[in-house]
Amino acid sequence: MELQGKRIALGVTGGIAAYKAAELVRLLIKQGASVQVAMTEAATHFVTPVTFQALSGKPVFTDQWDPRIANNMAHIDLSREADVLLVAPASADFLAKVAHGLADDLLTTLVLARDCPLLVAPAMNRQMWENPATRRNIATLCNDGVTLLGPGCGDQACGESGLGRMIEPEEIIAVLIAHFQPKLLAGKRVLITAGPTFEAIDPVRGITNLSSGKMGYAIARAASEAGAEVTLVSGPVSLPCPHDVSRIDVSSARQMRDAVLHRVANSDVFVAVAAVADYRPAKPAGQKIKKDGSAPAAIELVQNPDILADVAALPNPPLCVGFAAESEKLQEYAEKKRRAKKIPLIVGNLIHQGFGGDNNTLILFDDDGQHPLPPAPKIELARQLVARIAILLEKR
């Protein structure tokens, strides 16, 4: 319920993606938002108002002369009651009208009369999107402070393929949730490691650690929501990349270290969440080791580089944040690790909760002492960690 209590005015314009707006309303309601739908006349040719009324639980408005609003001020009342006005799908025609300040139907009038932010998710044929007139209109809208969601790239209803698809309802929800988060890391660049590493024994076997990557991915999402430019260096996990985060996939600890060192100079913050394998086989076999008795009796191991310690030891390190997953004596071991790696903040957790869950319990350790974060979903904890990071950045 990450949009609990939020009031969303949703404009739907005429385009085949209007059918996805029905799913969008369902997801908004599921996240706790209240949704007031306004449709253009063209949109009603694709989906009927009854569909949106059933999903939102509220009457749908299509006409600025609608007698259901007693004072006939639908164009003012509907957006004044909203925290945000979202238009999805937003057709080329609608965007052109808004760019020029036209107000010849209920939705464009709502846009002009609003006192809340406007977010638009364009949906149109790729050539309409690339047309110089649309390009000019989009530039005007961006200049006017309108937030653009997408468009995406891929197959289009007309049979063509290219840029112009409405982004998926799930992505629109992610952008909306981000919209309401405080921009504590605006303008900052954050580099994060997440997931396990995999150290090959032979082409099909290896040494790895138990790690779902969920905490690291949640931190990447929370940092991005807070306005940071986020790069996520990820070991092998099966998680989707958070919206607006650039992900670099790696496998071994040495690949992870190379990817981190390549990018760290531009980073303000480095958060090492990855469960890096401490050791790797000294000489991985080039071919699969057979079960015929020819396998070596022992696998010789060599120590992996400590990525976090290496970054913290750079001449001008970013603000470094480490993790300490311990099975006992959390405070003692976490503080010891913080001092050994010379980092300002370490995040401790006891691992008896198991791996791969959606919730966690953390304690933050820094120069000011301990800050316990009670059990909560990982994304909530990640947002609290981001808030702490923002405080430490201020103090730097």
Question: Judged by CB under 6 A, which stretch of 11-19, 164-172, 266-274, 360-368 contacts ligand C5P?
Answer: 266-274
C-alpha angle 62-70-8 in degrees, rounded to nearest 5: 50
What minimum distance in Å lies between the beta carbon of 353 and ligand C5P?
17
Question: Judged by CB under 6 A, which stretch of 38-46, 171-179, 205-213, 270-278 contacts ligand C5P?
Answer: 270-278
Q: Assess 89 for contact with ligand C5P (CB under 6 A).
A: no
Answer whether 364's CB lies under 8 Å from 381's CB: no
Q: Which of 55, 306, 364, 390 forms a contact with ligand C5P (CB under 6 A)? A: 306
Q: Assess 337 for contact with ligand C5P (CB under 6 A).
A: yes
C-beta of 122 vs 196, nearer to ligand C5P: 196
Q: Assess 218 for contact with ligand C5P (CB under 6 A).
A: no
C-alpha span between 237 and 232 (Å, rounded):
12
C-alpha span between 60 and 312 (Å, rounded):
56
Q: Which of 36, 125, 304, 360 forms a contact with ligand C5P (CB under 6 A)? A: 304
CB atoms within 10 A of CB 341: 19
Residues in 178-217 that interact with ligand C5P by CB under 6 A: 193
Q: What is the DSSP letter of 42?
A: G
Query: Which of 261, 285, 283 lies closest to 272, judged by CA?
Result: 261
C-alpha span between 320 and 191 (Å, rounded):
10
C-beta of 74 vs 191, nearer to ligand C5P: 191
CB atoms within 10 A of CB 306: 18
Q: Which of 37, 107, 185, 253 forms a contact with ligand C5P (CB under 6 A)? A: 253
Catalytic member of 116, 142, 158, 320: 158
C-alpha span between 151 and 31 (Å, rounded):
23
Answer whether 133's CB lies under 8 Å from 140's CB: no
Active site residue 320: no
Q: Assess 338 for contact with ligand C5P (CB under 6 A).
A: no
Site residues for ligand C5P per CB under 6 A: 193, 253, 272-274, 276, 304, 306-308, 322-324, 337
Question: Which residues are designated catalytic?
Answer: 158
